[in-house]
Structure 1
Amino acid sequence: MPRVSTGPYRRRKHKKVLKATKGFRMSYNRLIKRAKEALLHAGEYAYAGRKQKKRQFRTLWIKRINGGLASIEDAPSYSQFIGNLSKKNIKLNRKILALLAVKQPSVFSQIVKQTK
């Protein structure tokens, strides 16, 4: 069996890894072994980050709604407000409520009045 050279194939794989790790610090963008490790970790962090992003936005929306409720006199607490929304069958999600609380406080206050 003749010996097969992996030169072109290996170089292509190495170039692909080094291109992906461009911008990484120290030897993580130059040495193949280090770059490959860094790329694996970066992928794990990116995957976890996509999940955390959803959590962080939900907490941000809740804080904005809470702030909007604090600015209204005789407004219920956040938990009471969300409970009243579901009882009154008002189908607005937290993202939209937070947007209304920040951009259009008058509309938000009308929604709060409807839930009482």
Structure 2
Amino acid sequence: MPRTKNTKVTKQRRKKIMKMAKGYFGSKRTLYRTANEQVMRSMRYQYRDRKQRKRQFRKLWITRINAACQLNDIKYSRFIHGLKIMNIEIDRKILSDIAIHDPNAFSKYCELAKEGLKKAETILPTPKQTSPSYVSLDNLDLVVEPKVKTKVVEKEVVVAPKIEKEVIVKTEPKQNEADLNSKTVAELRDFAKNLGLTGFSSLKKAELISLILNN
């Protein structure tokens, strides 16, 4: 069975990239690999600059409005605040166009903003700063409590005498050779174990008896 290479889809993808790289210079327009790299980079720049373009235009509009506000003796921040008080909803793009093409109309907007600021000041007066009040200490009776000295009493420590415990060692009576001969090897091993002897597991009966008698 022949191997399929999917040439149709590959060709369409390459044609799409080469079409997007139509206006580039040199190998970025003719070679697929370099064209693909440049197209991917350009698309990243497009995504970034679409966001930055909005910020840059807003800065430009604010700069134009601020310059026009200075000609009418008002600050930019107070101008925008006054328009909000008067419920005048005009965006900064339109205000910048009015400031450039129709300065007389912009000056009227400035007058409206000033009226709105005056209304806000009359409705909400600024609170007056009062001088701080001082309290004289002449009429106050100050009661000073005397200091009480505390004595430290040292207690005598009584040490109880140590009581030594008596160690009782049980000693089993020695047995004769005749009694040991009457016992089996297992009994002799148990007897040697009770005496605290070691190394008797591989001994025979006669050797066990001699070990017990010697100890």
CA distance in 2: counterparts of 1:62 and 1:28, whole angstroms: 39
* Matches for 1:77-96 after TM superposition, within 5 Å: 77-96=75-94
C-alpha distance after superposition, 1:13-36 (max 9, x if no partner):
212211110121232112212211
Q: 2: CA distance between counterparts of 1:97 and 1:16?
A: 43
Aligned to 2:104: 106
Instruction: Give unpaired runs (5+ residues) of structure 2.
Output: 115-215
Q: Which has the higher helix share?
A: 1
Bigger relative CO (Cα 8 Å, ≥ 6 apart): 1
Q: d(CA) in 1 for partners of 2:9 and 2:54?
A: 39
Which sections of structure 1, spanning at least 5 residues, go unmatched? none
| Partner in structure 1 of residue 17 of structure 2 | 17
The percentage of counterpart residues that share the same residue type is 39
TM-score normalized with structure 2 length: 0.50
CA RMSD, Structure 1 to Structure 2 (Å): 1.5
The range that moved more, 11-20 or 56-65, is: 11-20
TM-score by length of structure 1 reads 0.87
Taking the aligned partners of 1:81 and 1:99, their CA distance within structure 2 comes to 16
Written as runs of structure 1 = structure 2, the 5 A alignment for 1:17-96 is 17-72=17-72, 75-96=73-94
4+ residue stretches of structure 1 with deviation over 6 A? none
Instruction: Name the count of aligned residue pairs.
Output: 114
Give the number of the structure whose alpha-carbon radius of gyration is greater. Answer: 2
Q: CA deviation at 1:87?
A: 2.0
Q: Distance in 1 between matches of 2:90 and 2:6?
A: 59
1:38-74 Cα distance to aligned partner (Å, 9 max, x none)? 11111111111111111111111111111111222xx
CA–CA separation in structure 2 for the residues paired with 1:114 and 1:41:
49
